[in-house]
Structure 1
Amino acid sequence: MTDDTTVILSQIEEEPKTTNVVLKKRTFRKKSPLDKGLSISYENYILKKINLADFKLPDLKNAAKSNKLHITGTKPVLIQRLEELFNKIKKTIILQSIFRGRLARVCLSRRGPAFKNRKLCVNDTDFVTMEPLIEISPLNFFSYKDEKEFTYGFHIASLIHLLKTTSRGVTNPYNREQISAHIIGDALAVYNASHILSATFRDENSSQLVMSVRGCVSNRNTNTSSIFRNASQTNQLNIMNNINNNQQMINDYRPTININSIMTEESNMRLSRIQEIRTHPIEQRIHELFAEIDRLGNYTQSSWFSNLSHGDYGRLYRALYEIWNFRSQLPRSVRNKICPFHSPFDSIFNRPVYHTDLNFQQIQKACLIVIENMVYSGVDEDHRKLGAFHALSGLTLVSMTARNALPWLYESLI
C-alpha cells in the first residue's frame, strides 16, 4: 500500500459520522371565532353565519348564561339550546315586522283626507299649539271631514287632549259641532299606533301641552285606554265664562316669592324694580324690556314682539315653555339663578286654558311677563344675559324678522 493510499484512508477514518435528525412536525392551534372578534350573539349567528361548534365549551356556557339558558350539559346540548333560541328570535322579528307594517298602514289610512294636502283644511293652525298646519310633521298630523264636507286639521296630541278634557260629547273647537265616534276612533287608532311605531313620537307626546296651573304646561297621562275613564273628572272650559277670569288672573299677577332668594339687599332691589316696571303701560314695558336686552349685549327691535299676531303669541308662549324646560337642557341650578324668585311661568294662569280662550291683550301680556322674568331676574349679569338669550331664541321661532337678524339662535333650536 502506497503512502498516498494510507493518507486517504486515514482522512476517511477521521471524518465525523453523520446522524439522522428527525424534525418534529409543527402544529398550529385552530383559531377560535373569539380571536376574530366574533362573540356568540344573535346578530353574529344570523349575519356573520358563525358556527357554534367552533367555540369552546366555556364560551358556549357563558353565552347560555347571558341569554338566561341552562348552562349544564355537553357541548352539543348547549349548541342546540342556543340555536333554538336564535331561531325563535328570528321568527319573532318576522312577526313583529308584519305587525308593524299593519300598524303603519292603519296610520296612513286613518290620518284623514288632508294628510297629503293640508290646503284642504278650512283652518290654518292647530287650536291648541297655534302651529300652522303646514309646519306640523306628518307623524303628528290628523284630519277629518265632517258631514258638511268641511275638512279640519289638528296636531294629534291636541285632539287627544281635547278628548281627555271633555266629559260629554267631544266638539270641534272651530265650529262647536260634535265629533262623531267614528272620527274619535280613528284619532285614537292613529295615536296608539304612532306610539308603538315611533320613538320620536313617544318622546314628543309623552305629555299633553296646554297652559295650566301656574302658567306652566300641564303634564297628563297619555295612556289612551284611560282617556274616557278619566274624562268625567274634568270639564271643558266655557270660553265666554272664562274670559273675565283669565283677565283677572293676568292683571292680578302675584307669584309666590321664594323667600331664600331675597336674603340680600341687591336681590330685594331687583325684585322691587321688576314690580315697579309692571306698573307701567304695556307698550312702555315692551320698549323697556328690549332696551334692557340690548344693554345686555344684543341688537334687537321691540317690533319683533309687538307686531306678533294672536296666534303667534300662543306659539311663543309654548316655545318659551319648551325651551325653558326641555330644549335648553339647563340644569335646575342654572335655571334657579336665571329666575331665582320663582319660575317664569308661575301664577300667570291658575287653571288649564286654551290659547283660543284668551283675547289678544291677555296672551300678549302673558308672554311679556314670561320674558320679563327671564331677563330681569338673574342673580348677576351673566345669568341675565343667559335669560335674554333663551327669550330671544323663542322669539326667532315666531318672528321672521327676529329669525333673519339672529339666525344662529334659530338654528340652535331646529
Structure 2
Amino acid sequence: MEPSVCKNIRSRRHPDRRCPNPATNGDYCGVHYKFPRPFQTQSQIGLRKSSESNDIVIPVDPVEPTRRIQRWWALYRGLRGFNRQGPARWLRTASTNSADFYSMEEITDISGSYVFSFADTDKIVYAFDIRSFATLLEKAGKEPPQNPYNRQPIAARTVTKALAYIKWSRKHGIDTRWAPIEPTTPDQQFGLRVTDLFQKIDELSYYTNTAWFTGMSADDHRCFYVELHDIWFHRAELSNEMRNTIIPPPARPFRLLIREVVALKSLEILRKTNLDLIRMFVSAATDRSDRSLGAMYVLTAMTLVNQDCAAQYPWMFESATPGIYARYRLFNTPAPTANLMQLLMGGGGGNQIIPLALPPPALEQQLLGNLLALLNAPPENEGE
C-alpha cells in the first residue's frame, strides 16, 4: 500500500498547491512535519465557493508574527550588547575579577547598563563599571592605559570599543562619570588625598596600600622625610640634571631643613609636608619612566618606616638599610638629661667644651652643629 500524500502546502511561495511528497511522518512528509501548514480549500472549511478556481485559505496565528519579531529583537539586542559591553554583559560569572577595581562593588551587583568587559590576549575576561573604566582612561592621558588587575597594557582595540560605548551611553542618558565625593571632615579630606596620591603610584606599575601612610606616627614621618632626603641627595648618587628631570624646576621638593623636620612635633604638619613631597616625586616629571623612578625612591624610603611595605618590596628595603635616621633614634631612648647634654656639649664623645656663657644664638648654633655631627657619624659597630 502506497503512503498517502503530504497534507501540507507545497511552500510559502506556492500556498495554492499541495505538497506532492509522500507522508512519511504521520500526515506530513519529512520536510513539513516539524512546522506543518495544512493545505485547505474553501469547501473544506465550509465556505461558499465563489469560482471554479481552487481558492486556498492559509490559517494564520495572529500572535505568532509578533512573538517572532520579539524573539529576533531580543537576539539582536543581546548580540549588540555583547559587541558593545563584552562577554560579561550577560554572564557576570565569566569575569575573572569579582569586584570593580575602583568602587570595589561586586560585579554581579553592577547594573547591566554600567557593565563593560573585555577578554585579553590570553582569553581572560575582566569586567569593570564603565564609570571606573572611564576614570582609568582619563587618568592615563596620552599614555597607554594599563589593566589594573595584571598591569598589562590594554589593547588599542579595547580602548576604542570602550570610548565608543561611553559615547553611546552618554547619548542615551547614562552618566559615565562618578559623582564627586565631597568629604565633610578633615580626616575624610586627608584620606581622599592619600587615596588619590597612592592611585597615581599604582598607575606606575607598583602595588601600594594607603594604610602604609595613614598609619605612620609623627616619628615615622620624620624618619621618612630624612631617609628620602638622604636617598635623593646622597645614596642614589643622582646628578643635578637627573634630579631636575624627575622634579623639574622651579619645584623644590625639600623645603624644610633636616633640623627643622627633626624638631617638628605636629603630626598634621608632617603629614602635609610628606604628602606634598610624594606628589612631587610621582607626578612632576613629564615622562612616565621618570615618574616611575620617583615613585621607586618614595617606596624605598617607605620600607624603612613600614614593615608591610618592606615585606612587599624586600629588595628596596635591603638597598636602603641601614637608614640614616636610625642614628637619630638614639635621642629618643630614655637617658638622663645630664648624659644627653654631655653628649651634645662634647660633640659626640670628643673633648670639645662649649662655654655656657656664649650668647644664646651662638650656643644654639654650636649645639645644632654637634647634633648634625652625631647624625652623620658612623655607628659604633659599623666597622666590626
Q: TM-score if structure 2 supplies the norm length?
A: 0.33
Which of 1 and 2 has greater Rg? 2
Which structure features the higher share of helix residues? 1
Q: TM-score, normalised by structure 1?
A: 0.31
Indicate the structure whose relative CO is greater, using CA pairs within 8 Å and at least 6 residues apart: 1
